[in-house]
Amino acid sequence: MIDALVFDFDGVIIDTETPDYELWSEEFRAHGVELDRAMWSQIIGGSPDGFDVYGHLDTLTGGGVDVASIGRRRRQRYLEMVEASPLLPGVLDYLTQAEQLGLKVGVASSSNNDWVEGHLRRRDLLGYVDAVTTRDDVANVKPDPELFLTAVARLSSKPERAVAIEDSANGVTAAKRAGMFCVVVPNPMTRDLPIDHADLRLETLADMELAELLRRAAAALEGIHDS
């Protein structure tokens, strides 16, 4: 029986990923170069250490990039864009339905705790969440399964009784390595990336009632354990 639902945060609850890429692309163009989206996709859903965007810009421009100035300028604009972004479709419905169905709800994110809890608090969503697990709580972020394994343990559940909701290849890989049923809901930044290793793909959470998703997850997990 499925008793826990674990959401990724960035790109699943709020689309923080599209404005991040758009602002960096704008910054690169202002310096007369282009930001390769394929290179940027390396960090979606995983560690930001996977791609040094400042170093890449510095290399493409031949050096002399004012890192501090860029960081201050784009950070403020990025925060403003994220604050203005709505919850992604179906998220609030899933949270309320999970509460009605008696499911425990977790968030497992490669971002830091202040970022995740801060946005959940400002959107009045923390009351729906039983446990928040972030990069501050683990040694390894996605695609390593540690975030999901820790999140499930904090919910007093087990991977075979939990469903992960993800948007990226790194996130899906982490959930599957943890032994969970994983639903992928791509956002504009991940829609054309190779994420076909998820168990189920939805364009938005609004496309399927949570009860139906749980039925499919339970049937799939039962089939795995019966085989």
Of the candidates 3, 10, 114, 196, the residue annotated as catalytic is 10
Q: Catalytic: which of 8, 20, 130, 199?
A: 8
Is 3 a residue of the active site?
Answer: no
Residue 136 appears among annotated catalytic residues: no
In the chain, the amino acid numbered 176 is K
Nearest-angstrom CA–CA distance, 178 and 149: 6
d(CA 101, CA 111): 28
Q: Residue 146 has which token pair?
A: 């540690």
Between the alpha carbon of residue 125 and those of residues 95, 96, 112, 156, 185, the distances in Å are 8, 10, 17, 21, 19
Distance (Å, whole) CA 167 – CA 77: 24
| Active-site annotation, residues | 8, 10
